[in-house]
Structure 1
Amino acid sequence: MNNTSNVLRLRDSGQLCTALGLAVASWSSASLADTSSATKNAQHTSVELEATDVTGKHHETFKVDAMDSPKFTAPLRDTPKSITIINEALIKERGATSLVDVLRTTPGITLGAGEGGTPLGDRPFIRGFEASTDIQIDGLRDLGRMSHETFNVERVEVLKGPSSAYSGRGSTGGTINQVSKKAQAEDFISGSLKLGTDQLRRETIDINQYLPEQDLALRLNAMKHEADTPGRDHVDVSRWGIAPTITWGLSGPTRVTASYYHLESDDTPDQGHPISLVSNKPVKVDRDNFYGLADRDFRKTSADLATLIVEHDFNEVFSLRNTLRGGRSMQNYVMSRPVFANVGQELAGQVPRGFRPRNVVNTSLINQTDLFGTFHTGTIKHSYAAGLEVSRETITDKEKYLGNNGRPGDLQNPNPHDDGWTLTPGSNTVTSKHQTEVKSLYVFDTLGLHEQWDLNLGLRYDDYAIKNRVAGGAESNAELWNYQVGIVFKPLPNGSIYLSYGTSSNPSGENTQSGGADGAGAGNLNGNKANLDPEKSRSLELGTKWDVFNDKLALTAAIFRTEKTNARVTDPISGLVTLNGDQQVTGVELEATGDITDAWAVRAGYTYLDAKVLKAGGDGANDGNRSKFIAPNTFSLWTSYDLDAKWTVGAGANYMDQRYMNDANTVSLDDYWRYDAMLAYKVNKNLDLRLNVLNLADETIYDASHVGLFATVAPGRSAELTAEFRF
């Protein structure tokens, strides 16, 4: 291969470099001003003041300084990669109760939808690439396409850009890691009761007990949630979960943690509104129009995770951690897909209801061992982590429900209680059983070359194998090598400038939960894909990170280019899938997270993505088009302010640019703004009240689509009153 093919084409990013340079200059000036001010103050004659009692409420910060995983061998400020962390304080203030709620307000992320072959569940796209199989819980992959909850989440970490060195296969756009709540060395009982419009009722409990004589801590989190969906008729959600954790040896060199997580849901699936074949946008109908069958449609899910973690600190500079997890998740549903078969149906005001079932069980067994610490070679300090991971993950599809949806629904006045439909349970016969086995080795090292210079290195090897264990099932094997290289310059103690290069690999079978509508690019084993080499992606990123206002506010900026020059596409002559596609994403990202003052907190971000499919395959008609599902501009702002020791006000705004829903760029969803507000009152040290009003303008928002046939509808305006207690 010509070496020049591995060079990222950044010649058209001059304007972005200029913008980044201005950001660096301005933030560096602010930092220098802080330093200069501190120096001047130190030169003044000290004055002894009388002691004064000050009472007030210190705002809980949104800023996080380090990742949870030991693979990240430097503080966040000195890690040469874009990382967004949404902690529990921000999750609570914004009233988020699911992972989708969190991601919906995170710039650079858009959402996709599922149906039958591509299942329902969390389907985020990060920096232009799907990340539904790149969702983790405490650093271990959670392969099942579920709808994740927040009741046991301490924070959500979004690692952006090709990240296979950290996460293994996939991770082209990035990785999402949910960090679970841990047992603590203290006693407390906390919880919440949330009541709201649309029959909302949510209860949570969080109990932690510490036994100092046994050095043993126990923690229990539990949740129950019942609600209708604001702005949607007949669409209700019901779920409950429980998560006990026990840790022995909190203060000793050896710690053993056993935890269990269970989540169960019973919802009404909702595919929103059909796409007009005349306007190529969602049809103009009342937002609350529901085209499903309320007496028949259902979605039942469950997830169980059992985890055992053993940690030992041999000394202050050498530690070992072993994590063993077994998991099982299930998803079973029947739903109605409102899609026009032809223009005549639309003009006649008739909407066929496509029958879409699914019945799948996912199981996993993962063991991950990490060694981490520090050592010196001469004057160079090494902060390192090395590990071994072995996993087996199985996705078992079973015979689904059989049936039909009867007569079409009325476009303007659909009747969710229409009859004429049929439904017959499937036999539970296994139709496919994709088993993935991976053995991985990885090592990371941050070399302190100088007090102002760090070199960050990472390398991972994956022995990857997947097989459909039914008669005649396809299989695929690959050896994956991926790496991360970053150089960090620290002009001042509170800031860094970095340049990094990273890779990712997408082997065949990486995403067997993708249907035929996803086309040649789907990561399944259909057709001749099992015989193809993995797709390869690479990214170059230039960024800067600064902690200002006494390290309370983190400012970040980055420009980047990600390329995949061997993407899967359909050959126009043979009709087979080949690795001749070319995809490219160029972008810029700006973020501010933390405290401006003790009373004023902010979380703001903006992402620009120029996501293109340079070579789309087929007849070439889609070459150069924008990548589907990806918004060029996304913006998010949340800010809250303590008026006094009792009252806090907050407000937020989110912008999502226009998104195309198909490869031809003919079907689109309009851009939108969403506004939220919050008012909180501290009754006493044990009780807080918070009122959230979400989607203040009651905007009709379309979150996503699968392949431009229908558009899912986001919740309308709602009000929620939460009482939080802690003893």
Structure 2
Amino acid sequence: MNNRRTSGVRAYARKALTPAAVAGVAGLAFAPQLALADDAAADAATELSGVQVEGKAALQPASPKYTSQLLDTPRNVTVVPRVIIEQTAATSLQDILQTSPGITFGAGEGGQPLADRPFIRGQASGNNIFVDGVRDSGGQVREVFNLEQIEVIKGPDSAYNGRGSGGGSINLTTKRPTLVEQTDVSAQVGTDSYLRGTIDANLPIGETSAIRVNLMGSQGDIPGRNAVDFDRWGAAIAAGVGIGTDTRVTLSYYHLTANNMPDYGVPLYTKLGGATAPRTTKSGVLDVPRDSFYGLTARDFQKSEADIATLITEHDINDAITFRNVFRYSKTLNDYVVTNPGDGGAAQFVAGEWWMKRGTKSRWNQATTVANVTDFYGKFTTGGIEHSYDVGLELSRETNRNASYLIYTTAGSACPAGFTNNVTTAGVGDCTRVFAPNPSDPWQGVVNRPDASVNYTQTVGVYAFDTISFGDKWLLNLGIRHDEYSVKGLDVGVTSVQGVQTATTLTPRKGDWSFTNYQVGLVYKPTPNGSVYASYGTSSTPPTISGGDQNTTGAGLGNLANVLLDPEEVTSAEIGVKWAFFHERLSTSAALFHMTRENAQVLVDTGIYAQVGETMVQGLEIGVTGRVTPAWMVFGGYTYMDSELVRGAFNGVNQGDRLANTPEHSFSLFTTYDLTDAFSFGGGAYYVSDSYGGNQGGAGGGANAVFAPAYWRFDAYAAYRFTDTLNLQLNVKNVTDEDYIARTNGVHHADYGPGRQAILTLNVRF
């Protein structure tokens, strides 16, 4: 380790000793004493919002790749159960992942889709989302109505999942049929025209079969944002046979249709005069009211669709071997035209007012995936040493078709170029006031979809995991995966005149890579309810990790439009401690990690990318989930991240800059307390420190960087149970109606978080 890196680690260690970190680690030090709490209280069960939560129920990822209990897994894994999804009134992936600190969401821009874009430990992880262990390809805005739990694994996980960004991955475990007859109906009404209804019906058929049906419909406005609304509906049906027997088969189908008014937020200070313009705010976000919306309701739209069919087959061959096979066919569509207030050129000052042209971004992206994942897993003992293992094979083929719309305005002012303050044209079409935009401006024009680029991605992956137990105190966790990964496609470049395609250029591309990744972790168990671990893992990030989900041609991509570079390499070391209190009713964890991305592709000259970059993220994570007492539930944690661009500075990006979408501090805690058998109350507290939105033009942390300022947000919760089958729940999100920037693109726009909203939910179970 060189002197510069050593001093950096020492500085990180000093900075990491925040009050929250010290308190968390000190709390774990008292684990043996706290674990001796009253057993009778520990075994209590309680009812929350109509969801039964058993005191001894331990959260566990659904995948057989996790060959030990979560308590003994030597890495940071967070499981968000269904009770948290329901109690927080979450409806989207972004809603629920705010309960897991260290995860931020990026804004869509250019080659990045307007869709779910989570960042885990500072790494873009939008293409690291899985459903029941199978990669969920294609840009989407995901729903949660059919989810049983959400699993977040942090750190390099290519040994688990193949190609990845290195920051981690997210697995969505769906609801499956059971042998318990039960129907849950939920009806919600709220401010901002919010309406939502769900039905979850599980119907046994005979002694070993069942059908489960989930339905959802929802609509409303986004609190605090003018003209931004949504409506969506979804349905999921799953049939299971052989439930509880040696051979189990589940066939499921999921559909979601979402129609949203897309929102690219508000401009930055650069809109009024470029990079040399005076900053009206310290953050660089233009000082306009939160409800300022620059889109056009007559033109802008976003339609998202998903159709997913899954067949899961499981068979217990004997006591030591279980066979599991998951076959998936899915088709998704992300289709939108959105106004980008940061594009369209600089604003123009005319007759005492600032006027601007509305820029546009668009996408038509259809993704089709055929995948099959096979596992053999189980336990056996040889020579007094116990093995818990999983070996598997993954085969997948993804097809991505991608195009940007041809948009041409046929009426209205040419704003700002040549703009004159003519009342017959001002405020028509693409032209609007900077400080008083009108989303209802009339618009006339054409929107045509040209020929689409097509990309084919094929993966063959083989993997093996083993947790080796040496007595009661030591466990060795090993994992390895080898991938044969290939892409080929045809990039389509389009020339147009007044929105009509006139010429096409075709650029073929092809590439294939082989990479092997591994992980190793050592666990020491001083007591049965505690573990101390150290682990090391790797990940590979090929340049086409998105499988064609991002634009492969266009401004800013330079030589990446036709040059395929080698995979980037991510390595991470982690040490941590996990402890379960009160017979595993309460789980806590603390971990220190250091992650490096090498061979990173960075812009080294205008239009030229090369693999000479290196980034570093290191930090501390503390987590807690479960019950402090039978009446008091907690879920949340704290994350500290120290990030740095170690090598690869260019065009305003400086060595030593912080990375985009990597706030130093983030904290979340959702908690409820059962005051009586019938009444419970609580809420959530969420904090995120300053977060930069891009690594261009100093936007990654330099002196002129644009950033989302730090903010606190508070939610409130209360529930009253009238009977065992009927309860009423009230959620008030953003109680203080805080004006906060959820994220910035860094060089174009910033997105406001939602304002205050109250939601009343009636839950009925029968």
TM-score (norm 1): 0.92
Question: CA shift at 1:493, angstroms?
Answer: 0.8
After superposition, the Cα gap between the structure-2 partners of 1:21 and 1:271, relative to the gap in structure 1 and judged at 3 Å, is: closer
Structure 2: how far apart are the matches of 1:621 and 1:326? 42
Residue in structure 1 matched with residue 615 of structure 2 by the alignment: 583
| Secondary structure of 1:208 counterpart | strand
Q: Does 1:408 align with 2:408?
A: no
Residue in structure 2 matched with residue 490 of structure 1 by the alignment: 525
Greater shift, 12-21 or 96-105, is seen at 12-21
Q: Does 1:330 align with 2:329?
A: no
| Secondary structure of 1:491 counterpart | coil
After superposition, the Cα gap between the structure-2 partners of 1:256 and 1:38, relative to the gap in structure 1 and judged at 3 Å, is: closer
Q: How does 1:33-112 map to 2 (within 5 A)?
A: 33-35=34-36, 57=47, 60=53, 64-112=58-106
Question: CA shift at 1:334, angstroms?
Answer: 1.2
Question: CA shift at 1:390, angstroms?
Answer: 0.3
Question: CA shift at 1:283, angstroms?
Answer: 1.6
After superposition, the Cα gap between the structure-2 partners of 1:25 and 1:56, relative to the gap in structure 1 and judged at 3 Å, is: closer
Query: 1:530-562 CA deviation, whole Å, 9 max, x = no partner?
Result: 1x2210010000000000123211110000000
Residue in structure 1 matched with residue 474 of structure 2 by the alignment: 453
Q: Does 1:504 align with 2:539?
A: yes
After superposition, the Cα gap between the structure-2 partners of 1:8 and 1:580, relative to the gap in structure 1 and judged at 3 Å, is: farther
Residue in structure 1 matched with residue 33 of structure 2 by the alignment: 32
After superposition, the Cα gap between the structure-2 partners of 1:55 and 1:235, relative to the gap in structure 1 and judged at 3 Å, is: closer
After superposition, the Cα gap between the structure-2 partners of 1:437 and 1:333, relative to the gap in structure 1 and judged at 3 Å, is: same
Structure 1: how far apart are the matches of 2:349 and 2:125? 35
Residue in structure 1 matched with residue 731 of structure 2 by the alignment: 692
Matched letter for residue 341 of structure 2: P
Question: CA shift at 1:372, angstroms?
Answer: 0.1
Structure 1: how far apart are the matches of 2:746 and 2:12? 31
Residue in structure 1 matched with residue 422 of structure 2 by the alignment: none
Asked whether the 8 Å contact 1:61–1:594 carries over to 2, the reply is no
Query: 1:584-640 CA deviation, whole Å, 9 max, x = no partner?
Result: 001100111100111110112100001111112436851110101221100001110
Question: CA shift at 1:401, angstroms?
Answer: 4.3
After superposition, the Cα gap between the structure-2 partners of 1:4 and 1:621, relative to the gap in structure 1 and judged at 3 Å, is: closer
Aligned residues: 706
| Secondary structure of 1:90 counterpart | helix
Residue in structure 1 matched with residue 600 of structure 2 by the alignment: 567
Q: Does 1:205 align with 2:241?
A: no
Residue in structure 1 matched with residue 421 of structure 2 by the alignment: none
Q: Does 1:444 align with 2:444?
A: no
Structure 2: how far apart are the matches of 1:518 and 1:705? 21
After superposition, the Cα gap between the structure-2 partners of 1:127 and 1:517, relative to the gap in structure 1 and judged at 3 Å, is: farther
For residue 149 of structure 2, the aligned residue among 146, 155, 177 is 155
Q: How does 1:524-543 map to 2 (within 5 A)?
A: 526-527=560-561, 529-530=563-564, 532-543=565-576
After superposition, the Cα gap between the structure-2 partners of 1:225 and 1:681, relative to the gap in structure 1 and judged at 3 Å, is: same
Q: Does 1:311 align with 2:320?
A: no
Question: CA shift at 1:8, angstroms?
Answer: 13
Q: How does 1:414-429 map to 2 (within 5 A)?
A: 414-427=437-450, 429=451
Matched letter for residue 218 of structure 1: I
For residue 377 of structure 2, the aligned residue among 372, 378, 395 is 372
After superposition, the Cα gap between the structure-2 partners of 1:593 and 1:74, relative to the gap in structure 1 and judged at 3 Å, is: same
Structure 2: how far apart are the matches of 1:331 and 1:662? 23
| Secondary structure of 2:94 counterpart | helix
Structure 1: how far apart are the matches of 2:296 and 2:572? 46
Residue in structure 2 matched with residue 258 of structure 1 by the alignment: 251
Question: CA shift at 1:703, angstroms?
Answer: 1.6
Q: Percent identical across equivalent pairs?
A: 38
For residue 227 of structure 1, the aligned residue among 214, 220, 231 is 220
Asked whether the 8 Å contact 1:321–1:369 carries over to 2, the reply is yes
| Secondary structure of 1:629 counterpart | coil
Matched letter for residue 358 of structure 1: R
Asked whether the 8 Å contact 1:203–1:223 carries over to 2, the reply is yes
Structure 2: how far apart are the matches of 1:550 and 1:559? 26
Structure 2: how far apart are the matches of 1:567 and 1:621? 15
Residue in structure 2 matched with residue 270 of structure 1 by the alignment: 263
| Secondary structure of 1:92 counterpart | helix
Moved over 6 A (4+): 2-9, 16-22, 36-39, 516-520
After superposition, the Cα gap between the structure-2 partners of 1:618 and 1:519, relative to the gap in structure 1 and judged at 3 Å, is: farther
Structure 2: how far apart are the matches of 1:55 and 1:600? 12
Residue in structure 2 matched with residue 44 of structure 1 by the alignment: none
For residue 393 of structure 1, the aligned residue among 358, 381, 398 is 398
Q: Structure 1, unaligned stretches of length 5 or more?
A: 42-53
Question: CA shift at 1:330, angstroms?
Answer: 0.8
Greater shift, 716-725 or 701-710, is seen at 701-710
Q: Does 1:647 align with 2:695?
A: no
Asked whether the 8 Å contact 2:71–2:531 carries over to 1, the reply is yes
Q: Does 1:283 align with 2:286?
A: yes
Matched letter for residue 635 of structure 2: R
Q: Does 1:143 align with 2:137?
A: yes
Structure 1: how far apart are the matches of 2:186 and 2:34? 43
Structure 2: how far apart are the matches of 1:701 and 1:21? 28
Question: CA shift at 1:563, angstroms?
Answer: 0.3
For residue 512 of structure 2, the aligned residue among 454, 460, 477 is 477
Residue in structure 2 matched with residue 123 of structure 1 by the alignment: 117
Structure 2: how far apart are the matches of 1:534 and 1:541? 23
Greater shift, 511-520 or 295-304, is seen at 511-520
Q: Structure 2, unaligned stretches of length 5 or more?
A: 271-277, 413-428, 492-505
Alpha carbon RMSD of aligned pairs, Å? 2.8
TM-score (norm 2): 0.87
